Amino acid sequence: MNETWYQDTNISHFKNDYTVQDQSKCEVLIIGAGLAGLSLLYHLTKGGVKALLLESNSIASGASGRNGGFCLSGWSQDYDILLKYLSIGSVRELENIASLGVSWMRSKCMQKEYKGTFLGDGVLNCYLTGKVDNIKRQNQLKNSNLGIYDQFISKENLEKIILSDRYLCAVKKENAFHFHPLNFMNSLAKECDLLEGKISENSKLLNYTKENNEFSSRIQTKKGIVNIFSHKLVFATGGYGGNELKDLRKYWLPIKTFIGVTEPLGNRVNKIFKKNYGVSDNRRAGNYYRILPDKRLSWGRGISAFGNISTKRIKEQVSKEIKYFFPQIGGVDIEYVWSGIMAYARHFMPYIGPVKIGAEDKGVFAITGFGGHGMNTASGAAILLSEFFIEGKKSYKIFNNFERKWNGGFLGPYVAELKYKYIQAKDFVDAKRQSKKFST
């Protein structure tokens, strides 16, 4: 058994024996083969730009091949908060990029070469707390502000979809779906390969320098250290990059989240869902779960700014949550447990476009910091950045609204963890209050 359920059900294997040669040259060197880097390679190659993608492990070995598999519009930061700082026009522009990503991902999943993505329609955001009338009104307002159609679902109608009495109501996200992210990434890599977009796995960027308007990047490959020359350098390193990113590393924090997958549940899935939707809840680090094609329950939960939580502990936490929401299914074995790292900036929005830290960084770009909401945003942002490289279009400038903010150095993880614990405690108290209201 592999670490993740996705690895054990990977039917799209991308086979690649290419290793970048010493003294190679390209126009754009992309670092990191997650969804951001790989979809950027795809668009650039299609647009006739000579690009090369390097990955320190194998494609999708970071967050993009081990996530919850939800693809829905929006960003890691809530629109309510974005509206406090930006004009409605700017927030609408962000929504357009977010939904462009959803549509692009969906259209790919529909291609016959992507059949291993097992697309399942529908994602719900379920409310554990709040006032139902307010939630309904806020949803209407958001729809009219952003020109979207997210559907409000009352408790009565929700019971026709999920068999849990914990939720007050839900919002069904327009056009959203769930899928197998690792098979998706493998299919996309194969497509890049057919287009002759070069991917070199086991190739880690160690550092870079700049001379005469050209970057010289030192890369550790299986065959030794090589130097590559490029005019542009793009960091698509997610939460996995280190000091090789130089100053860029100071502007985000790596945050972990965890997934447990149960044994196959057979007919017991009918005691959970009447429709196979993906479900998340309205807490900042709430649960996200769905039924997998072999009738297992995949359950994501929690975040941590510090190292690992033991497998045993994650299993306990996941079992406890499942029991809380679905006591009717009895005890279940958790057969897979894994974690992944996400990159979060303090404002929860990504860095996309030129990095511009010092003169030597002119020509360095970032497409990173998608947090826990990357399946649509990384793919949408890749379209924007490729348009700049191909046509000079500067739509990425919308992201200049989100300044780089220092991550707090060694204190950063402590602050993030404290903030999370505070939010968790608040969610807990609110949920307790809500269930008291139900029982009185």
Ligand X SMILES: Cc1cc2nc3c(=O)[nH]c(=O)nc-3n(C[C@H](O)[C@H](O)[C@H](O)COP(=O)(O)OP(=O)(O)OC[C@H]3O[C@@H](n4cnc5c(N)ncnc54)[C@H](O)[C@@H]3O)c2cc1C
Q: Which residues bind ligand X (CB under 6 A)?
A: 31-37, 54-57, 61-64, 66-70, 204-205, 236-241, 244, 257, 259, 288, 300, 340-342, 368, 370-375, 378
Q: Is the dihedral of CA 108, 110, 113, 114 positive or negative?
A: positive
Q: How far apart are CA 412 and CA 17, in angstroms?
A: 40
Q: Is residue 211 classed as helix, strand or coil in its secondary structure?
A: strand
CB under 8 A, 24+ apart: contacts of 433-438: 433/129, 434/128, 434/129, 434/168, 435/166
**309/435 with CB nearer ligand X:** 309
Q: Hey, what are 36's tokens?
A: 């951001």
State the nearest-atom distance from the C-beta of 311 to ligand X, in Å: 14
Residue 373 CB, nearest distance to ligand X (Å)?
5
Looking at the Cβ atoms of 138 and 304, the one nearer to ligand X is 304
| Residue whose structure tokens are 């996995």 | 240
Closer CB to ligand X, residue 197 or residue 374?
A: 374
Distance from C-alpha of 165 to C-alpha of 168, rounded to nearest angstrom: 8
CB of 148 within 8 A of CB of 102?
no
Residue (37 or 116) nearer to ligand X, CB: 37
Please say which residue, 142 or 256, places its beta carbon nearer to ligand X. Answer: 256
Smallest gap from Cβ 438 to ligand X, in A, equals 29
Cα–Cα distance, 123 to 334 (Å, whole number): 23
Q: Decide: 34 and 178 in contact? Cβ < 8 Å.
A: no
Which residue number, 66 or 106, has a Cβ lying nearer to ligand X?
66
How near is the Cβ of 259 to ligand X at its closest, in Å?
Answer: 5
Strand partners for 262: 334
Q: Which is nearer to ligand X, 31 or 109 (CB)?
A: 31
* 112 vs 315 by CB, closer to ligand X: 315
- Give min distance, CB of 231 to ligand X, in A: 19
Residue 293 CB, shortest distance to ligand X, in Å, is 16
Q: Which is nearer to ligand X, 54 or 434 (CB)?
A: 54
Q: How many CA atoms are closer than 13 Å to the CA of 130, on its beta-carbon side?
A: 20
Query: Using an 8 Å Cβ cutoff, are 368 and 235 in contact?
Result: yes
Position 53, amino acid: L
Q: How far is the CB of 219 from ligand X (least distance, A)?
A: 8
Shortest Cβ distance from residue 436 to ligand X (Å)?
31
Indicate the helix (H) or strand (E) that contains 367: strand 364-368
CB of 287 to ligand X, least distance (A): 11
Asked if residues 69 and 177 have their Cβ atoms less than 8 Å apart, the reply is no
Calpha distance 81→421 (Å, rounded): 20
Give 131 or 223: the residue with its C-beta nearer to ligand X. Answer: 223
- Whether the CB-CB separation of 265 and 316 falls below 8 Å is answered with no
Q: State in angstroms the smallest separation of the CB of 369 from ligand X.
A: 8
Instruction: Collect contacts of 196-199 with beta carbons under 8 A, ≥24 apart.
Output: 196/45, 197/41, 197/42, 197/44, 197/45, 197/51, 197/53, 198/18, 198/20, 198/26, 198/51, 198/52, 198/53, 199/16, 199/18, 199/33, 199/38, 199/41, 199/53, 199/55, 199/59
Residues 6+ apart with CB under 8 A from 192: 38, 41, 42, 45, 53, 199
